Amino acid sequence: MYRINVLKTLTFLIFAITVSVNAANIPDEVSSAEQESPVKNLKTEIKEYIKHHLLDSYDFTLYSYTNDAGEHKYVGFPLPVILIDNGLKVFSSSKFHHGEAVAEADGQFYAVYHNKIYKTDALGTINYNEEHHATNEKPLDFSITKNVVFIILVGLFMLLIFSRMANSYNNNPMPRGVGRMLEPLILFIRNDIAIPNIGEKHYRKYMSYLLTVFFFIWIINLLGLTPLGVNVTNNIAVTLALALVTYFITTFSGNKNYWKHIFWMPGVPWPMKIILAPIELLGTVIKPFSLMIRLYANITAGHIVLMSIIGLMFIFKNWIGSPLSFGLAFALSLLELLVAALQAYIFTMLSALYFGSAVEEHDHH
Amino acid sequence: MDKLIEQFSLGLFFWQLILFVALVLLLKKFAWKPILNAVNDREEGILKALESAENARKEMQNLTADNERILKEARIERDAMLKEAREMKDSIITEAKGEAHAQATKVIEQAKATIESEKHAAIAEIKNQVAELSLEIAEKVMRSELSDKNKQIKLVEDMLKEVKL
């Protein structure tokens, strides 16, 4: 009961944060059309920067600056672009010159607009519709973007530390090195997440997924807090992929009892059963959908608020701005550290809860 | 929501799904299975060790109780043996004393008897010697007495005087 209350509070908080962030964005959008005072310009610039930061990118840029000659310099390296558009097209993202140039590959022209690749002509014309959205054709894009690089890096890092940890058990019953810190976490996931939610009998087959998803989300959330500028979990595509795995595991491990509760809820009169069936069926999709949105919204909200607070420093151009901005950003960073772990925990917890409901055997009604 | 759909990147979704599933499978093989097995084994080992320690403790208790009992018995036995030995010693001494006394008495008796017989023999011998000596002396005296004629006549006369007819 306590746990459900905590979850309710958390969901409410998440909702509140997202709503407030959206609300804060609306007046800016209205005023951005005017762009008269320099402060307004600065505000738009900060907003654009935040927006840009939240998006994926085709090259690995650590930071950029404008040198004395007025040139915009980028520090980083390009990544491969992989497109499927009348055949496979692979080229380096350096061809885009950080979105400033049109890339040509096998007689086709591509341009980057708002961090997306569009098909274009030799001049890089982008057509817009009335809502200022690009209407150019988009090729199927399987590029190794910055986020993909970090997913691979985190994967390799996890493989390295956990396989080393596994090897350390070969000659010693107690963990060694980094395993000393990781073992309590693994035991926590087993004893406090998997076993209570799934049950002693079935929990083993879900442990691999639960452990991987917990450490993956946690590590990648923590990386998002570093100045490397990566935000893997604030991409809806990433959280969708994670939630989809949870959904498929739940659906494929669902037993007779689980499906019976969905299509023909026992213990209620038959007209209710007919009404409940579509609701329950929808519920199976809504549950992983909420996982997807929760993780995405939390991390995105954290990044937006954190960067907005840092942006305050440039807006308040007086002595109070910097300490205030620094203090707030520091406090919020600490909170974000907690959120990084908390979101990993919640995702794992709820996944375990869904698996548990899928394999539950005896009837509670 | 519109923005979300616009932002959605199929490529990133594809890579995330592939890489994540691969990561789950690889970690399962190389990390989670060995780690969880090791942890389980260790936990079972600890449980077993605790159990055997408890058993050993109980056994130890039993053993101590046994030891105490055996010790007690041994002490009683020792006491009994000591008592018996003391009694035996006493009886042996008493017996030996009696026997020695009897033996001694017997020896003394025998010695006394021997001494007595020896004494009789010695006295008898002394008597014989004395008789012999007296005869020899008497002979010598007679010889000297009868060496001249006067004396012989006198003797015969004395003797004749003594004889009273």
| Residue-wise pLDDT tens digits, A202-260 | 888 899 999 999 999 999 999 988 877 778 888 888 999 999 999 999 999 888 888 88
What is the share, in percent, of chain B residues with pLDDT greater than 90? 66
Q: Which residue has the higher pLDDT, A272 or A190?
A: A190
CA distance B60 to chain A (A): 28
What is the share, in percent, of chain A residues with pLDDT greater than 90? 27
A248 touches B: beta carbon within 8 Å: no
Q: Which residue has the higher pLDDT, A102 or A154?
A: A154
Sheet holding A116-120, edge to edge: A103-105, A108-113, A116-120
A149 touches B: beta carbon within 8 Å: no
A186 touches B: beta carbon within 8 Å: yes
Given a cut of 70, whether residue A28 has pLDDT beyond it is no
What is the share, in percent, of chain A residues with pLDDT greater than 70? 87
Does the predicted model carry a pTM greater than 0.90?
Answer: no
| Residue-wise pLDDT tens digits, A311-324 | 888 777 777 778 88
Q: Give the pLDDT band (50/70/90) at residue B115.
A: very high
CA distance A251 to chain B (A): 17
- The answer to whether the CB of A262 falls within 8 A of the CB of A273 is no
Residue A25's pLDDT is 43
Residue A195 CA, distance from chain mean position: 27
B26 touches A: beta carbon within 8 Å: yes
Residue B24: domain span: 10-126
- The answer to whether the CB of A101 falls within 8 A of the CB of A161 is no
B145, part of any domain: no
Average pLDDT over residues B20-39: 91
B64 touches A: beta carbon within 8 Å: no
Residue A192's pLDDT is 93
B163, part of any domain: no
Chain B CB contacts of A55 below 8 Å: 7
Block residue for tokens 């017997």 = B106
Map out the domains of chain A as residue ranges.
74-144, 147-359
Block residue for tokens 């007209």 = A271
B155, part of any domain: no
Show which of residues 71-130 on chain A sit within 8 Å of chain B, judged by CB atoms: 82, 116
Domain count, chain B: 1
**Pick from A166, A179, A189: which is nearest to B29 by CA?**
A166
**Do B8 and A152 make contact, defined as CB atoms within 8 angstroms?**
no
Sheet holding A88-92, edge to edge: A88-92, A80-84, A140-141
Q: Give the pLDDT band (50/70/90) at residue B158.
A: confident
Block residue for tokens 């310099």 = A73
CA distance A211 to chain B (A): 8
| Residue-wise pLDDT tens digits, A287-317 | 999 999 999 999 989 888 888 888 888 777 7
**Do A148 and B9 make contact, defined as CB atoms within 8 angstroms?**
no
B134, part of any domain: no
Specify the amino acid at residue A81.
V
Mean pLDDT, chain A, integer: 81
**Do A55 and B7 make contact, defined as CB atoms within 8 angstroms?**
yes
A22-to-A16, A294, A300, B1 alpha-carbon distances in Å: 10, 15, 11, 12
Mean pLDDT, chain B, integer: 90
| CA pair distance B50, A238, nearest whole angstrom | 47
Residue A76's pLDDT is 79
| CA pair distance A21, B126, nearest whole angstrom | 163
Given a cut of 70, whether residue A200 has pLDDT beyond it is yes
Residue B75's pLDDT is 95
Residue A22's pLDDT is 44
Residue A26's pLDDT is 41
B4-to-A55, A234, A296, B8 alpha-carbon distances in Å: 11, 11, 10, 6
Given a cut of 60, whether residue A11 has pLDDT beyond it is no
Chain A CB contacts of B24 below 8 Å: 208-209, 212-213, 245
B150, part of any domain: no
Residues 6+ apart with CB under 8 A from A104: A95, A110, A122
Q: Find, in chain B, the residue whose alpha carbon is nearest to that of A241.
A: B17
Q: Is the dihedral of CA A218, A220, A223, A224 positive or negative?
A: negative
Q: Which two tokens stand for residue A50?
A: 């935040």
B1, part of any domain: no
A216 touches B: beta carbon within 8 Å: yes
| CA pair distance A81, A118, nearest whole angstrom | 13
Given a cut of 60, whether residue A3 has pLDDT beyond it is no
CA distance A158 to chain B (A): 8
Given a cut of 60, whether residue A23 has pLDDT beyond it is no
| Residue-wise pLDDT tens digits, A77-123 | 888 888 887 778 888 877 777 767 777 777 778 888 777 788 777 77
Average pLDDT over residues A142-169: 90
**Do A142 and B23 make contact, defined as CB atoms within 8 angstroms?**
no
3-state SS, residue A338: helix
Residue B5's pLDDT is 74
| CA pair distance B46, A162, nearest whole angstrom | 23
| Residue-wise pLDDT tens digits, B42-60 | 899 999 999 999 999 999 9
